Chain A
Amino acid sequence: MPSPSFFKAVFAIARKDLAAEFRSRELLSAMLVFSMLVILIFNFALELNADVRKTVTAGVLWTTFAFAGTLGLNRSMAVEKDRGCMDGLLLAPVDRSAIFFGKALSNLAFMLIVEIIVVPMYALLYNETRIFQWEFVGVLLLGSIGYISVGTLLSAMSAQTRTRDVLLPILLFPVAVPVLLASVKASGAVVAGLPLEDYLTPLNLLIVYDVVFLAVSYMIFDFVVEE
């Protein structure tokens, strides 16, 4: 059972990342502008008229979040690596998994902030009110948790390789496919107004992979950061 000091360490690391980000705002603004650009490209690549939107809204949003997510994940680990902050964190007398949960928490916060801004913006631009449903928010949250948990682990790995930023999406996308696939299926069904039974299978798959990825990343994070 983790002690109270464990949670204190987790929140301290997450707060450090958030405080640094809210002072500079370089990462969040980059993620947001990037997300808008991706949606813009989708707009003329897919001709997002009312007919097409019915089927592709979930796919467009999830692709955007996946791309913006790698941007954030790359940056958050590169900052630690560049100025030797990671060594400082590793020297701190806390459990290594506290570092993982702290980083994952701040990464998740960045991704959720982007989603909170991009989703209403998408709804406004395309007059798509069907995405304002609690079920949709739930799927967004579950999908982001799965994506970020395995993404935090892999970004810690890719930051230590020669190709660095280039490698993260290559490592992350194929492994995260179960999460992305289930998220797109489930949120697509919500947008289409289907009842819960119709997307229970992808939803269950999503929950299973959230638990699996979170547990495994927590267990093997030690091996990724040890020197």
Chain B
Amino acid sequence: MQQKPILLTILDVLSIVGLGVSTYFALVYAPPEAVMGNVQRVFYFHVGTAWVGMIGFILAAVSGIAYLVAKDARWDRFEVAAIEVSAMFFFITIVLGSIWAYPVWNTWWTWDPRLTTAAVTELIYIAYFMLRAGIEDPEKRARFGAVYALLGGLSAPVTFMVIRLFRTIHPVVVGNGNPEAQGGFDMSEKMLAAMFVALGAFTILFIDLIWHRIRMGNLEEKVEQLKLEVSM
């Protein structure tokens, strides 16, 4: 039996502490926003989860290429881990955004370009799991998964670009503002601090979860091998 590495246990503790600190920063430390009030506090976790979601999809596309080049099953396990964790975080991003949008935009959901592309990105990665579920041969599953992760990674950048290409009401808080955005705001220093704490906390949590998922993938593989040995 493979022992759990000490570093992973440390990461576990760190991510719990990080989440706690980040919650404190978001709910207590940062001042309430002048116009929107307390509902703006959703923003810190919204950005945190969106950040790791996007990073995971990019990492998955890169490891897809690495798998196709090297044909090493470890890349495949990393890719699955990254997509699984990111798809979950990205879903949370959409839900949090929705919670914020109801009081600010007066609707849970609107077919704004930014929201639409976010939904499409989530659907790409749901399709990814459906593709994998439909293939029995592990080698072929990994190969097709890598190809699709790569295609998804090419399609997803539109999510970033669309905010600048088409007129959207989604605010851009970092960088130049969008005149048509509804619900944008200027961040005070304390708000910025809270945002960076959230980014850091979610990054640690993200690494921790991916590591766990890779270990699970290794164990799955071992179980498969043992089953094969028993049946022979």
Contact = CB atoms under 8 A, between A and B. Distances in A.
Tell me if chain B binds chain A. Answer: yes
Contacts of A121: none
B6 to A, nearest CB: 38
A99 to B, nearest CB: 16
A223 B68 contact: yes
Interface in B102-144: 117, 120-121, 123-124, 127, 130-131, 134-136, 140, 143-144
B136 A174 contact: no
A162 B134 contact: yes
A102 to B, nearest CB: 20
A220 B150 contact: yes
A79 interface: no
B154 interface: yes
9 contacts: A150-B151, A157-B148, A163-B134, A167-B134, A171-B131, A174-B152, A175-B127, A177-B155, A223-B146
B158 interface: yes
Q: State which size class the interface on B falls in.
A: 20 to 34
A201 B68 contact: no
B147 A223 contact: yes
A178 B166 CA distance: 13
A224 B161 CA distance: 29
A160 B135 contact: yes
Interface in A148-195: 150, 153-154, 157-158, 160-163, 167, 170-171, 174-178, 181
Count chain A CB atoms within 10 A of each CB in B144, B152, B165 and give the residue with the most.
B144
A174 B159 CA distance: 12
- 5 smallest beta-carbon distances between A and B, as pairs: A161-B134, A174-B124, A174-B123, A162-B134, A163-B134
B147 A224 contact: yes
A216 interface: yes
A220 B147 contact: yes
Q: Which of B120, B151, B155 has the most CB of A within 10 A?
A: B151
A170 B155 contact: no
Nearest to A204: B165
A208 to B, nearest CB: 10
Contacts of B120: 174, 177
A176 B148 CA distance: 12
A30 interface: no
B118 to A, nearest CB: 12
B123 to A, nearest CB: 4
A223 B124 contact: no
A175 B124 contact: yes
Given A174-B124, A177-B117, A212-B154, A223 B135 contact: no
